[in-house]
A and B are shown apart, each in its own frame.
Chain A
């Protein structure tokens, strides 16, 4: 059957606003790269001569490495730039950096920044296609895509599944991107967490909100845990790590409330014993956390490839 695919925007700044067919097309392409990666082959011709810059204003080993590997497997020249936020005077440098990047003829720019909207601001100023690798508490689109691919491969579908996202939703860009992505693909999304870590009016974004974890997990096909940032405790939004783990941490007992074949996900890095028990995180029958990392490279290859094609089409 012919399925028209909505075009991607010039930049990948957010999942919100992407057409479901565009998301599905990215996942299909990612799946083909997954098979390529597993075969040990590469396609170094696809991004040959193109420059990919990883611009990270926040530390991240995992995401940066994943983008670096994705770029290299497609033949791009990859440069990593880490900008320590403490040493720069915030956004002035952001736009100064944009001018520098333009002078370097950067084609693909991967940006992580602590401020929501920073990649969108950069996108207004640079010639490169901008890929948001996480901005503040806004979005982390490639994480949502790799999570969707992980779910699709583990469950054979996304439509109709019940996905429970649990933990510090308020400060999570991963939760927001996943919510937009999974609802676009017709999954049912539940958000579980204490009211002090739940963003205002988030149910209007299409999620069902639970403050009781047992109730929220009941019958869920996918349990996605979020990282609890330690500084939230000092901000007084939860009283202590032990209280948080008791009521919102995932252990085998709580997992038993989910569907018998429910899978467990975590975007990493994990706080073992704070939001997730090691026995669950390391259970090969339930945990797909290692798969998420593998999907990450494939999804980022698909994104880089698609945006690069789009860029050449628009040129």
Chain B
């Protein structure tokens, strides 16, 4: 039985807009009470958290794990280690693995593997199409029963408008959203960087930023047509955010997330062919980065996801256009998000909401809040502690961080899963 009293912390619960000093009592792995006057019985283990922030464990809306299929890049065990170091206690797993999560048995397998780690709850996304191949719909009803939180083809766009229409329409019957990788495939094919001056200088095949807005516009129209819930993953351009903002104002069931690279970096991070900064979608122009920050600040963006894509050196030590896209993001999710807080772009509670209760609400989970009786999934962090993100020194197996060399302020000190310290 896990009992613990964390004292003297700055307690942050974004769901209740609570930000005040106090203590938090854990009994039997659950939050018993928290607040200014809270104490615990004699003999209970205590943790002095003076000067530190205590918040709900992070809910990562989208991450790929190497397992199953690419265990040389990342295993569930190594991803769990990275997640714990990043303060993530609930992680939504993308289905475009090998095999794809298009079978109820695989959904159950992922959830059980998460329980096995003891440190992170794994909530699988179901494949939107069989094999994430973009053709026939997967078995949404059965996958939903098995625990799928929603449907997506992960890093692959659902290219056919007809398939997307069917998916949105059918998923609505099971109360599930369809998440899209918003990139028009015929414009993105073969591209390695955002089309523009930099790609021209480097001689890299470009993807026009409009490839994102085109897909977003199409799918908003399909959401209007079907009444379904479309969720746009890792939104990275001003034009797409404007469309989403307008669709929300219209009352459509349209939501979106973004990932730290899109509000912390711009295309210049690829410098002289740095393949660790090769992502999908590609890093954008500075004006688009600023638009993503604005989208975080005004609430258009519903969540910040890690967008974790493990890659090994064989995937990345290639000429840029041939290198695999994708960045590791679990261990750096909180720190890079806090950079926007330190910069004065978003208040701390809003930033935490984007990492906890807001993604949880999207997937219908009660995680991501400090509530008496809820599992004590918590992250304790030092808002000011400075450190440098360096590839090769990150927890877990995947080292392909696009933030290599980035100095940040704010670091996870401890992570608790059901009251047990896992980092």
Chain A residues engaging chain B, CB cutoff 8 angstroms: 16, 90-92, 94-95, 113, 115-118, 120-121, 135-139, 173, 176, 199-202, 204-205
**Which residues of chain B are within 8 angstroms of A16 by Cβ–Cβ distance?**
201
**B203 touching A176 by the CB < 8 A rule?**
yes
Residue of B nearest to A137 (CB): B203
B271 to chain A, nearest CB (A): 10
A204 surroundings in chain B (CB, below 8 A): 197, 200
Judge whether B252 is part of the interface by a CB distance below 8 angstroms.
no
Residue B250, interface by CB 8 Å: no
B319's contact among A113, A139, A173, A176, by CB below 8 Å, is which?
A: A113
* Complex alpha-carbon distance, A94 and B322, angstroms: 12
- Find out whether the CB atom of B318 lies under 8 angstroms from the CB atom of A90: yes
Q: Contact at B319–A121, with CB atoms within 8 Å?
A: yes
A200 in contact with B197 (CB, 8 Å): yes
**Which among A90, A95, A199 has the greatest number of chain B C-beta atoms within 10 A?**
A199
- 1/0 per position for B252-283, CB-CB distance to A under 8 A? 00000000000000000000110000000000
Further 14 A-B residue pairs, CB within 8 A, beyond A90-B318, A136-B319: A90-B319, A91-B317, A91-B322, A116-B321, A117-B204, A117-B321, A121-B273, A121-B318, A136-B204, A137-B203, A138-B204, A200-B197, A200-B200, A204-B197
Within the assembled complex, what's the spacing in Å between the Cα atoms of A92 and B324?
13
Known: A92-B314, A115-B322. A138 touches B196 (CB 8 A): no
| Residues of chain B lying within 8 A (CB to CB) of residue A135 | 203
B residues with a Cβ closer than 8 A to A are 195-197, 199-206, 208, 272-273, 314, 317-323
Contact A116 B202 (CB under 8 A): yes
Known contacts A115-B322, A116-B203, A117-B202; decide if A201 and B196 are in contact (CB<8 Å): yes
In the bound assembly, the distance between CA atoms of A118 and B320 in angstroms comes to 8
A113, B321: Cα distance in complex, Å? 12
Q: Find the residue from A90, A121, A176 having the highest chain B CB count within 10 A.
A: A121
A121 touches B195 (CB 8 A): no
CB distance from B218 to the nearest CB of A (A): 22
Q: Is the Cβ of A201 less than 8 Å from the Cβ of B320?
A: no
The answer on a CB contact under 8 Å between A117 and B201 is no
CB distance from A10 to the nearest CB of B (A): 14
Question: CA–CA, A117 to B321, complex, Å?
Answer: 9
By a CB distance below 8 angstroms, the chain A residues around B321 are: 115-117, 136
Contact partners of A91 in chain B: CB under 8 A: 317-319, 322-323
Find out whether the CB atom of A116 lies under 8 angstroms from the CB atom of B317. Answer: no
Closest-CB distance, A141 to chain B (whole angstroms): 12
> Does A202 contact B200, Cβ atoms closer than 8 Å?
yes
- Complex contact B318–A136 (CB within 8 A): no
Contacts of A139 in B (CB 8 A): 203
CB closest residue in chain A, given B313: A95
Q: How far is the CA of A176 from the CA of B203 in the complex (A)?
A: 8
A91 vs B313: C-alpha distance in the bound complex, in angstroms?
11
B370 CB to nearest A CB, Å: 48
B317 lies within 8 A of A138 (CB): no
CB A14 to nearest CB in B, in angstroms, measures 9
Q: Which residue of B lies closest to A95 (CB)?
A: B317
> Closest residue to A117 on the B side, CB-wise?
B273
- Quick one: given A90-B322, A115-B321, A205-B197, are A138 and B206 in contact (CB under 8 Å)? no
Q: Report the Cα distance A261→B206, complex, angstroms.
A: 38
CA distance A135 to B322 in the complex (A): 13
Residues on B with C-beta less than 8 A from A115 are 319-322
Q: Is the CB of A120 within 8 A of B318?
A: no
Min C-beta distance of B91 to chain A, whole Å: 31
Chain B residues whose CB sits within 8 angstroms of the CB of A176 once the complex forms: 200-201, 203
Q: Is the CB of A138 within 8 A of B202?
A: yes
Within the complex, the shortest CB–CB distance from A272 to chain B, in Å, comes to 27
What A residues does B318 contact at CB under 8 A?
A: 90-92, 94, 121
Cα A200 to Cα B321 in complex, Å, equals 17
How far is B203's CA from A118's CA once the two chains are assembled, in angstroms?
A: 11
* Residues of B with C-beta under 8 A to A137: 203-205
User: In the complex, what residues of A have CB within 8 A of residue B205's CB?
Assistant: 137
Shortest beta-carbon distance, A16 to chain B, in Å?
7
Sample (17) of A-B pairs whose CB atoms are under 8 Å apart: A113-B319, A116-B203, A116-B273, A116-B321, A117-B320, A117-B321, A120-B272, A120-B273, A136-B319, A137-B204, A199-B200, A200-B208, A201-B196, A202-B197, A204-B197, A204-B200, A205-B197
Q: Chain B residues near A118 (CB, 8 Å)? A: 319
Identify the 7 closest CB pairs spanning chains A and B, nearest first.
A138-B203, A115-B319, A91-B318, A117-B273, A116-B203, A137-B203, A199-B200
Interchain CB contact (< 8 A) of A94 among B201, B204, B319:
B319
Q: Which residues of B contact A199 (CB under 8 A)?
A: 199-200
What is the CB-to-nearest-CB distance from A270 to chain B, in angstroms, rounded to a whole number?
A: 22
Interface-central residue, A94, A138, A202, by most chain B CB under 10 Å: A138
A138 to B204 CA separation, bound complex (whole angstroms): 7
Closest to A57 in B: B319
Docked complex Cα distance between A13 and B314 (Å): 23
Residue contact B201 to A205, C-beta cutoff 8 Å: yes
Q: Write out the residue numbers on chain A whose beta carbons fall within 8 Å of the beta carbon of B317.
A: 91, 95, 121
Q: How far is the CA of A95 from the CA of B322 in the complex (A)?
A: 14
- Contacting residues, chain A, for B314 (C-beta < 8 A): 92
Chain A hits for B204, CB < 8 A: 116-117, 136-138
CA distance A205 to B203 in the complex (A): 13
Nearest B residue to A114 via CB reads B319
Complex Cα–Cα for A113 and B319 (A): 10
CA of A30 to CA of B211 in the docked complex: distance in angstroms?
46
A125 to B, closest residue via Cβ: B317
CB B273 to nearest CB in A, in angstroms, measures 4
Contacts of B208 in A (CB 8 A): 200
Chain A residues contacting B323 (CB-CB under 8 Å) are 91
B359: min CB distance to chain A, Å: 35
Q: Which B residues are CB-close (under 8 A) to A173?
A: 203
- Nearest CB of B to A80, in Å: 22
Using CB atoms, name the residue of chain A closest to B320. A117
Contacts of A138 in B (CB 8 A): 202-204
Give min CB distance, B365 to chain A, whole Å: 42
Q: Are A117 and B319 in contact (CB under 8 A)?
A: yes
Q: Which residue of B lies closest to A121 (CB)?
A: B319
What is the bound-complex CA distance between A16 and B205, given in angstroms? Answer: 19
For the complex, give the distance between the alpha carbons of A139 and B204 in Å: 11
In the assembled complex, the Cα of A199 lies from the Cα of B195 at a distance in Å of 9
Complex Cα–Cα for A136 and B318 (A): 14
Q: How far is the CB of A17 from chain B (nearest CB, A)?
A: 10
Closest B residue, CB atoms, query A200: B195
Cβ of B273: which chain A residues have Cβ within 8 Å of it?
116-117, 120-121
Complex alpha-carbon distance, A141 and B322, angstroms: 22
Task: For the complex, give the distance between the alpha carbons of A90 and B322 in Å.
Answer: 8
